[in-house]
Structure 1
Amino acid sequence: MPVAVGSYGQTQPNCFDRVKMGFMMGFAVGMAAGAMFGTFSCLRIGMRGRELMGGVGKTMMQSGGTFGTFMSIGMGIRC
């Protein structure tokens, strides 16, 4: 199947670029959700200071990685 060429000679991104883009978008959304849910849950159990920052950061990375993985899988299926 030929690659569609847009105006000014630009080509469509290939499948790997789309999967990377899906991971980055999912990671960003997951980090935002992790910040909200992680802050709430850590404050609820009584964390303060350095312990709070570590707990929220861990939750942000976990949710970002998880959501980014699922978004990249979804973008890979669409290729």
Structure 2
Amino acid sequence: MAPMPQSAQAQGAPTVWQKMKMGAMMGTGVGLTIGFIFGSYSILRGGAGPRGVLSTLSQYMLSSAATFGFFLSIGSVIRNDTPAQWEAARLQMLPPIMHSRNQGLAIVKARWEQEKAKRSS
């Protein structure tokens, strides 16, 4: 198995600021696309208006990019706001999902013994 690159090991989890920037960039990209689609449809349907095609389309694109970017940046921080220590503690409290063959056999034998003890008493 090949070792991981040094930069990936040393970097760790992204900070809150990095998460917010990433959410804002994704939201801006989505907003620009949605603004282009709805702005183009609006221009084709009702005309460009007194300011012209480019100005009207850019207003649609920029306003939707700002809105989507703002809300996705907040959402990405809220979604990932749980501290890593809490997540690690929660995972430690869960029972293991998979057991080795020997552990599974021991669990089954213990359950059989409990059932035998219940039936005999």
TM-score > 0.5 by shorter chain: yes
Q: Which has the bigger relative contact order, CA under 8 A and spacing at least 6?
A: 1
Q: What amino acid is the match of 2:12?
A: T
Distance 1:47 1:20 in 2: 33
Counterpart of 1:13 in structure 2 is 14
Distance 1:75 1:16 in 2: 10
Counterpart of 1:37 in structure 2 is 38
Q: What stretches of structure 2 of length at least 5 have no aligned partner?
A: 1-6, 82-121
TM-score (norm 1): 0.82
Q: Give the structure with higher Rg (CA).
A: 2
SS of alignment partner, residue 52 of structure 2: helix
SS of alignment partner, residue 44 of structure 1: helix
- Distance 1:56-1:7 versus aligned 2 partners, 3 A rule: closer
Deviation string, structure 1 residues 22-73 (Cα, Å, up to 9, x no partner): 011001001001001001101211228x711110101000000001111011
TM-score (norm 2): 0.55
Counterpart of 1:25 in structure 2 is 26
How many residues of Structure 1 are paired with residues of Structure 2 in the alignment?
A: 73
Q: What stretches of structure 1 of length at least 5 have no aligned partner?
A: 1-5
Q: What amino acid is the match of 2:64?
A: S
CA RMSD of aligned residues (A): 1.8
